[in-house]
Amino acid sequence: MPEARGKIRVTCTVNGKAMKFSAFPMERLLDVLREQIGLTGTKEGCGEGECGACSVLLDSKLVNSCLVPAAQVEGAEIRTIEGLATGEQLHAVQECFITHGGAQCGICTPGMILAAVNLLERNPQPAEADIREALAGNLCRCTGYTKIFESVVRACEARSGKS
Amino acid sequence: MRSFLPAYALETPRDLAATLDRLAGEPGEWQPFAGGTDLMVLLEAGKLTHRRFLNIWGLRELLGIREDSDFVTLGALTTYTDILRWPKMQHEFPLLCRAARETGGIATQNRGTLGGNIANASPAADSPPALLAYDAELELVSARGPRWVPYRNFHSGYKKMDLRPDELIARIRLPRRAQGGKQYYRKVGTRKAQAISKVCFAGTAHIEHKRIVDIRIALASVAAFPFRAAKTEAVLRGCDLGEESIHAAQQELAREIAPIDDMRSSARYRLRIAQNLLEDFLTDCSAAH
Amino acid sequence: MPTPVIGTSVRRKEGREKVTGKARYVDDLKFPGMLHGVTVRSSAPRGTIRSIRFAEGIPWQEFTVVTAADIPGKNCVALIVDDQPCLAAGVVNHPEEPVVLLAHADAYLLEEARRAVSIEVEPLPAIFSIEDSLARKQIIWGSDNTFQSIVVEKGDLESAWRKADRIIEGEYFTGSQEQLYIEPQGMVATADRRKGITIWGSLQCPYYIHKSLTALFDLPPEKIRIIQMETGGGFGGKEEYPSMIACHAALLAWKSGKPVKIIYDRAEDMAATTKRHPARIRHRTGVSRDGKLLAMDIEFVLDGGAYETLSPVVLSRGTIHAAGPYECPNVRIRSRAVATNAPPHGAFRGFGAPQSVFALERHFDRVAEELDLTPEEFRRRNFIREGQTLAVDQVVREPVDMTRLMERAFEMSDYHAKRERFTRENRGRNAKKGIGFAAFLHGAGFTGSGEDYLASIVAVEATEEGRVRVLAASVEMGQGTNTIFAQIAADALGIEYDSIEIAQPDTANVPNSGPTVASRTCMVVGKLVESAAVGLKQTLIGSGLLSERYTAAEFAAACRRYIAQRGPLKSTSQYAPPPELHWDAKNYRGDAYGAYAWAVYVAEVSVDLRTFEIAVDDFTAVQEVGKVIHPVLAAGQIEGGVAQGIGLALYENVVWREGRMVNNQMTNYIMPTSMDIPRIRVHFEEIPYPFGPAGAKGIGELPIDGAAPAVINAVAQATGANLPRIPVTPEVLMEALEAMRA
């Protein structure tokens, strides 16, 4: 059995809260979030950076948390699905995913919503082609994507004040 | 997660000099770890045989895109997103933008780095054909100092490259070129996004009155490493663009590439598509005149 | 009384939890002292186990180790026949067969340990194809490798050949397909030698697991408890395989005395669990000069993998759907499910029908071509109508109008204009376009007397707060079970949708409403929800605590009063077959299904002849479904099923090497991304089915049946290629076009 090395201590913020944790340096951010910090909203779908179910925002950038080692999270600002709603008030994207069928089984949903939110933060009025491209790294097996696009389009309308 | 994590070290050196000292001090012991988009996949699968890594993700010396009159120079830690966001990239190096945009999804583009992509040396990497077509040069640094190598000479075999155990890829520079001339990039993957390529083709050409004054052809996924199809270029250089020269070039390409059967595609398919893309590129070139 | 909610898109019951990350899936569970569990598998396709070795360097004394010897009851995963071992003992019959289980608190050390167990197998000759199995190159199961065979006979086939003006033959193949639910499979088990076993898991059929565990442990039913967690997709892939994982987790919990969690990683899930049955389908079709079907002779063979599991049932459904929504007086269908040394194939949405429907619809486009008819004209001349009989002699008892559905689909997709335009514009172009369609049907519920056998039960109870709770074993896995059950109950009771709760499927609390499969949850179980709710209402009214006309508030008050005065208020309803439904299992004839949904799908494709890449540019799905309970959810089912069918047609290729899937990673097994699927237009027609809730039929599987043949027919139209096999990857298309030119 290979020799075991020690853990490191990491400081970062998660959903606006300062966090300190210790982890193996190559421990996946996904596992740190789920096991140590107790935020299980971020999901594992493939462990190879293909499905996007583990997407989080790391310093405002969408990343696959299954591919980020703990050592590289030092000083970072992380946002997970749990940090999206403001208290009881859902983000427009969350609300539209409920009402327009963007969420079915829900397992891809946290990552998909964060990818959509990240898109809207960069491009508030995306064309459908932009939505498709921005979400191409998030796989969904249930919806066939049509209602995910619909949900994002409706969320844009809601945010821009149209009805 | 199949790997025994406690056995892995990922240490963060203070700066580039400290990194190079570590690499020089314990040759072969340490490997660089940038965005992790390749290495973490291996770790997950229990296939990451090397155990000691130096975290170079934040090294300031390897960040940023700079320009002068002769070159655009990208730090090795330039991500695909950085490439896409640099204002002049689309205008000057559109093939590199195409490659960056077709690499994985947004999440991969935010973390994958150009230096990491080159050093990972996948035969199917998306950016290398563009870099090869642009005559990229790599700056390799070590405690002994820097050296520049043309990227086209960097790979010599499957995962074999001109990178010594104490060296890091520091920068990639692209010679600025006269505007005009044809540029072509096509990645044929397993689907429209998030795909490993089956064939990837990049080409640039300078045509004057139907004569091919200069031409560069680069491919991935049809050999042990991304390469410049120099023999095919030689067949075309100085020729008049037409059915005959295109056909001759296709024949030469068939001899120059070595596509394989694997779980993604077949050698026959790769060969045929490589030849088709070459023809499309050349037809594009002649259409413009 | 509140406005009825059936037919409206009410808010998804568990929607908020799903969009906030609060929904609890099995991997989100943690118990104090919990161990992780892993499965050590044999890599040999077939052979005898010579030794199991545990290498040095691992602190084995810290581990819980389980082999077949530790199984208290019967070493099998009880399903239909008990041929599949829970843990291999003595022999292995497919790669990835489970042999040893390990548990430890440290997940990383556990993987180190998994690598340190070696299973030495002395190989026996193995077989990997339908051909080799039929040829009996090796006998690997039973006396002749045959799990099941079925013969359907209608009319007089032999004389019909003599009357036929043309006879057209074809042979078709469909490959395996991985369900690829985004949440991998997993289970958590706790075991107490006195109290029994509790399982939490990602699953579709709580009572299937319950049955497997009672057999494995030889425990009475009340000592086994199965609880479904939020399930991240199933599509049939979590119908039977979860029983295996539950058995494994339970064995480790039993031996260690601690809670055990087993979560498969993606590579293991893809390689070891069930996939769609590969199929070979042969057609021999006799038609009259004027394009009328006279004779259909169909041979349908499925590759079942190494153990029987559900193959007879997949075979059954595939057989019954093989002759489609057409009127043909003389039909013979001979079907067989055979064994190979691959991990057993299993349930996947459509369940045999996507295979046989692909073959039929591909074949009929070719038949039309042979007759110099358009594909739509050939269909129009043969579509079945009310009063006529399907291949199994089932009389169609509703005014279905397939021609009208087809015309609606053509209108929505601009089929005729596009077909003409594409034919014209394709000449001499490297980018060709095509448009094609498929016409099909899908029977909802268990075949024949299957629903009688299931005898499903649903209960509805009132709570002390005056709310109503639905108790059923049918699971929510994204399709909307919770929501539609609440809609049905709300309307049946005349109260608010928000007053209805759906109990978590927990065998300690809910009756057995049967498995969440076979497109039965809305039509069959939903109907029981309706009748149980009506029963509850009648009990209240009968008790004098509620008048015939009441407000929602009065209803709630009456519940509270009833419970305070008399105790629990609960109503159950058990399945009774619709009258006049008769199925002759011996002769495979009669009313195979209570209701069919009918559909015509149109696909528009682009084919790049430089790279042979195929893209689906547009898709139209028209279907008759009885009644749409929830428009957004119903359309969601169609769109999702179509996307999976597009995957089956073009992208999803399982690469086999000696019985093992070698492209078992999401990087190399290609499912469509958001860039690969066009907007899907959905249109519903409604001919109410009297025995479904509000007239609803089942639609869960329907959409995946017709998507692949529609796409391939479009590609064939664009290129002229034959294309008898799916998936049609660019490599396959290239070979097909080169063969055409040769």
pLDDT in tens, C383-425: 999 999 999 999 999 999 999 999 999 999 999 999 999 999 9
Q: Is C108 on the interface with B (CB under 8 A)?
A: yes
CATH of domain A8-83: 3.10.20.30
- Nearest-neighbour CA in chain C from B172: distance (Å): 28
CB–CB contact B277 C676 (8 Å): no
pLDDT band at B162 (very low <50, low <70, confident <90, very high): very high
> Which residues of chain C are within 8 Å of residue B273 when distances are taken between CB atoms?
610-612
State the total domains in chain B. 3
> Which residues of chain A are within 8 Å of residue C182 when distances are taken between CB atoms?
43, 45, 51, 53, 105, 107-108, 139-141
Share of chain C above pLDDT 70, in %: 100
Rounded CA separation C249/C70 (Å): 13
What is the overall mean pLDDT for chain C?
A: 97
pLDDT band at A4 (very low <50, low <70, confident <90, very high): low
Phi, psi of B173 (to 5 degrees): -115, 145
Nearest to B57 among A25, A28, A72 (CB): A72
Contacts of C156 (CB under 8 A, 6+ apart): C330
Q: Residues of A numbered 83-122 whose beta carbons fall under 8 angstroms of chain C's beta carbons: which are they?
A: 84-85, 90, 94-95, 97-101, 103-110, 113
CA distances from B174 to B69, B135, B151, B207 (A): 11, 7, 10, 21
Chains touching chain C at 3 or more Cβ pairs under 8 angstroms?
Answer: A, B
Contacts of B66 (CB under 8 A, 6+ apart): B72, B73
Residue C619 structure tokens: 């898709």
Rounded CA separation C173/C169 (Å): 14
Optimal mutation site among B48, B106, B111, B264, interface A, most CBs of chain A within 10 A: B106
Rounded CA separation B257/B191 (Å): 23
> Which residues of chain A are within 8 Å of residue B8 when distances are taken between CB atoms?
5, 24-26
- State residue B179's pLDDT score: 67
**Taking the CB of residue C427, how many other CB atoms lie within 10 A of it?**
7
Optimal mutation site among C9, C18, C263, interface A, most CBs of chain A within 10 A: C18
CB–CB contact B192 C675 (8 Å): yes
**pLDDT above 70 for B260:** yes
CA distances from B98 to B89, B103, B129, B179 (A): 10, 9, 11, 18
Contacts of A3 (CB under 8 A, 6+ apart): B7
Nearest to B2 among C111, C611, C655 (CB): C111
Mode of pairing for the β-strands spanning C660-661 and C656-657: antiparallel
Rounded CA separation B183/C426 (Å): 28
> Which residues of chain B are within 8 Å of residue A138 when distances are taken between CB atoms?
105
pLDDT band at C456 (very low <50, low <70, confident <90, very high): very high
Locate CATH 3.10.20.30 in chain A: 8-83
> Which residues of chain A are within 8 Å of residue C17 when distances are taken between CB atoms?
106
> Which residues of chain A are within 8 Å of residue B117 when distances are taken between CB atoms?
none
Rounded CA separation A8/C659 (Å): 44
Residue C729 — left, alpha, or beta (φ > 0 → left; ψ -120 to 50 → alpha)? beta
CATH of domain C31-124+180-272: 3.30.365.10
Mean pLDDT of C334-351: 98
Domain A92-159 has CATH 1.10.150.120: yes
Q: Is B43 on the interface with C (CB under 8 A)?
A: no
Domain C15-23+456-574 has CATH 3.30.365.10: yes
Nearest to C19 among A109, A133, A147 (CB): A109
Q: Residues of C numbered 234-253 whose beta carbons fall under 8 angstroms of chain A's beta carbons: which are they?
A: 234-235
Same domain, B267 and B222: yes
- State residue A3's pLDDT score: 66
Same domain, B204 and B167: no
Residue C278 structure tokens: 């590969």
Helices C353-370, C702-719: inter-axial angle, 10-degree rounding: 30
Q: Residues of C numbered 454-483 whose beta carbons fall under 8 angstroms of chain A's beta carbons: which are they?
A: 477-480
> Which stretches of chain B are DSSP H helices?
16-25, 39-45, 80-85, 89-92, 94-101, 106-111, 114-120, 127-133, 230-236, 243-256, 267-287
- Please check whether residue C241 is in contact with residue C80, taking contact to mean a CB–CB distance below 8 angstroms: no
Phi, psi of B53 (to 5 degrees): -125, 150
CB–CB contact B192 C611 (8 Å): no
Residue B233 structure tokens: 């270029």
pTM, entire model: 0.98
Optimal mutation site among A10, A26, A79, interface B, most CBs of chain B within 10 A: A26
Rounded CA separation C486/C246 (Å): 29
CB–CB contact A64 B53 (8 Å): no
Phi, psi of B147 (to 5 degrees): -145, 150
pLDDT band at C299 (very low <50, low <70, confident <90, very high): very high
| Chain A residue closest in CA terms to B39 | A67
Q: Confirm whether the ipTM is greater than 0.95.
A: yes
| Chain B residue closest in CA terms to C730 | B269
- Nearest-neighbour CA in chain C from B6: distance (Å): 8
Distance of CA A131 to the CA centre of its chain: 16
Last residue of a domain, one of B152, B175, B198: B175
| Chain A residue closest in CA terms to C60 | A1
- State residue B181's pLDDT score: 86
- State residue C712's pLDDT score: 98
DSSP string, C381-445: HHB--TT-B-TT-PBP-S---HHHHHHHHHHHHTHHHHHHHHHHHTTT-SEEEEEEEEEEEEEES
| Of the candidates B246, B176, B260, B175, the residue with the CA atom closest to the CA atom of residue B217 | B246
Please report the sign of the dihedral spanned by the C-alpha atoms of residue C104, residue C109, residue C111, residue C117.
negative
Last residue of a domain, one of B125, B141, B175: B175
> Which residues of chain C are within 8 Å of residue A43 when distances are taken between CB atoms?
25, 27, 182-183, 232
Optimal mutation site among C40, C41, C104, C108, interface B, most CBs of chain B within 10 A: C108
CATH of domain C279-447+586-741: 3.30.365.10
**pLDDT above 90 for C165:** yes
Same domain, B88 and B186: no
| Chain B residue closest in CA terms to C612 | B273
Same domain, B236 and B256: yes
Q: What is the pLDDT of residues C516-562, one digit of tens each?
A: 999 999 999 999 999 999 999 999 999 999 999 999 999 999 999 99
CB–CB contact C182 A105 (8 Å): yes
Q: Is A59 on the interface with C (CB under 8 A)?
A: no
Q: C31-124+180-272 and C279-447+586-741 share one CATH topology?
A: yes
| Chain B residue closest in CA terms to C656 | B263
Percentage helix, strand, coil for chain C under 3-state DSSP, each rounded to 5: 35, 25, 40
DSSP string, C13-81: TTHHHHHHT---BGGG---TT-EEEEEEEE--SSEEEEEEEE-TTS-GGGSEEE-GGG-SS-SS--SSS
CATH code of the domain covering residue B251: 3.30.390.50
- Nearest-neighbour CA in chain C from B80: distance (Å): 19
Instruction: Please give the residue range of the domain that contains residue B121.
Output: 60-175
Nearest to A50 among C27, C230, C666 (CB): C666
Same domain, B164 and B100: yes
Q: Hey, what amino acid is at B166? A: D
> Which residues of chain B are within 8 Å of residue A61 when distances are taken between CB atoms?
81, 110-111
> Which residues of chain C are within 8 Å of residue B276 when distances are taken between CB atoms?
610-611
Same domain, B35 and B18: yes
| Of the candidates C139, A59, C53, the residue with the CA atom closest to the CA atom of residue B58 | A59
End-to-end CA distance of chain C: 72
Nearest to C663 among B188, B198, B263 (CB): B263
Rounded CA separation C564/B161 (Å): 81
- Please check whether residue C458 is in contact with residue C532, taking contact to mean a CB–CB distance below 8 angstroms: yes
Reading across the β-sheet that carries B182-189, which strands appear in turn?
B182-189, B197-208, B211-220, B227-228
> Which residues of chain A are within 8 Å of residue C25 when distances are taken between CB atoms?
40, 43, 107
Rounded CA separation B104/B107 (Å): 8
Rounded CA separation C557/C208 (Å): 38
What is the overall mean pLDDT for chain B?
A: 96
Same domain, B259 and B275: yes
| Chain B residue closest in CA terms to A111 | B107
Mean pLDDT of B153-180: 94
Q: Is B37 on the interface with A (CB under 8 A)?
A: yes
Rounded CA separation C537/C525 (Å): 18
Optimal mutation site among B186, B222, B273, interface C, most CBs of chain C within 10 A: B273
CB–CB contact C111 B191 (8 Å): no
Locate CATH 1.10.150.120 in chain A: 92-159
**Taking the CB of residue C32, how many other CB atoms lie within 10 A of it?**
6
Q: What 3-state DSSP class applies to A114?
A: helix
- State residue C352's pLDDT score: 98
| Of the candidates C214, C211, C219, C213, the residue with the CA atom closest to the CA atom of residue C194 | C219
- State residue A162's pLDDT score: 58
Rounded CA separation C385/C388 (Å): 6
Which secondary-structure segment (H or E) carries C101? strand C97-104
Rounded CA separation C338/C301 (Å): 7
Mean pLDDT of A15-20: 98
**pLDDT above 70 for C232:** yes
Q: What is the pLDDT of residues B206-239, one digit of tens each?
A: 999 889 999 999 999 999 999 999 999 999 999 9
Residue C563 — left, alpha, or beta (φ > 0 → left; ψ -120 to 50 → alpha)? alpha
Chains touching chain A at 3 or more Cβ pairs under 8 angstroms?
Answer: B, C
- State residue A161's pLDDT score: 79
- Please check whether residue A116 is in contact with residue A152, taking contact to mean a CB–CB distance below 8 angstroms: yes
**pLDDT above 90 for A2:** no
Distance of CA B63 to the CA centre of its chain: 18
Angle at B41 between CA B40 and CA B42, to 5 degrees: 90
Q: Hey, what amino acid is at A148? A: I
Residue C697 structure tokens: 């039929």
**pLDDT above 80 for C147:** yes
CB-count burial class (<10 Å; 0-12, 13-18, 19+) for C171: middle
* Domain spans of chain C, in order of start: 15-23+456-574, 31-124+180-272, 279-447+586-741
Q: What is the pLDDT of residues B49-78, one digit of tens each?
A: 999 999 999 999 999 999 999 999 999 999
Rounded CA separation C349/C177 (Å): 10
